[in-house]
Amino acid sequence: MVISRDVAALSKLLNQQGNGKTNSTPSADKSVSKFNNYLSELIGNKDNISLDSSAMTTLSKDQLILFTKALQIQMNARLYNTVFNNSLESNALASKVMQDYGARISHHRSDTSKNNQQTPKNNLSGHDPHINQIVDQAAQKFDVDADLIRSVIKTESNFNASATSPRGAMGLMQLMPETARELGVQNAYDPRENVMGGTRYLKMLLTRYDGQVDLALAAYNWGMGNVEKKPDKLPAETIGYIEKVNSYYKSAKA
C-alpha cells in the first residue's frame, strides 16, 4: 500500500463532508465511522506504507477537523483498551473514569493540604530485624521494591504480625482468609508466610496493571474485581489508602 493512494482515497472519503458542518450529525458520525474503519486498515498495513509527499492531497479546514476527530476516537480507543485490558467498551466511559479518578485524587490532596496533614515520618526501619530480613528476601524473590512492601505493611498493620481487622484480614499485610488460601498461606499470622504471600499478591497486581503502583494498591485495598468493574467509583477509603502508602514510600526514599 502506497501512502499517496491512501491520501487520495482519504480525500475522496472526506470530500463527502466538504460542504457540510463539522458538528456531530448522523452524516458526520457515519463518515467518522467509515474513516475509523479505513484508519484501522491503514494501521494494520503500516509495514507497507511509504511516503510520497509529491502525490499527497491538500486537505481543507473542515476535512482536517473531521480527520482529527476520527483520529482522536481511534487513539482514545487504543489507549483505553491498553489501560483497562478491554474490560470495558465505552470510550466515553474511559474518559470519564480517568477524569473522575484524577479529580478525586487532586481533591483529596487538596483537602490534605488544607488540613495541614504532614507526610508520615519514616518509621519503616528499626522494626523487628527478623521482619526486615523477611521483607528483603520477599523483595528479592518477587522483584518488588522492599520499601513499597514496608509501606504497605506500615499502612496495613503498623508491623503488628498478630493484627486482625474487623473484616477478618490477618497479619502484617492483612490478608483476607480467601486470598491467603489462594496464595497457599497456611498461617497468616506467621510473619514469613504472610509477607511472602502478600508480596506475591502485590507482584501479581503490579504485573496485571503494567507496573502502575496506584492501580495495584487500589486493587490490594478494595479488591481487583471492584477496581475493574467500577474504576470510576473508588471509595474515599481506597483513595486515602493509596495516598498513605505513597507517603510512607516517598518518605522512605527521601
- Let me know: does 21 contact 50? Beta carbons within 8 Å: no
Q: Which letter does DSSP use for residue 160 in this model? A: -
C-alpha 39: how far from chain center: 26
Q: What is the largest CA-CA distance in the chain?
A: 75
What cell numbers appear for 47 in the block?
509495514
Query: Which one from 156, 178, 182, 228 is the annotated catalytic residue?
Result: 156
Q: Which residues 6+ apart lie within 8 Å of 170 measured at CB?
A: 163, 164, 176, 177, 180, 188, 189, 194
What cell numbers appear for 11 in the block?
480525500
The Cα angle at residue 208 between residues 172 and 110, in degrees rounded to 5: 70
Respond yes or no: is residue 41 known to be catalytic: no
What is the secondary structure of 26-55 as a DSSP string?
HHHHHHHHHHHHHHHHHHHTGGG----GGG
Q: What residues act catalytically?
A: 156
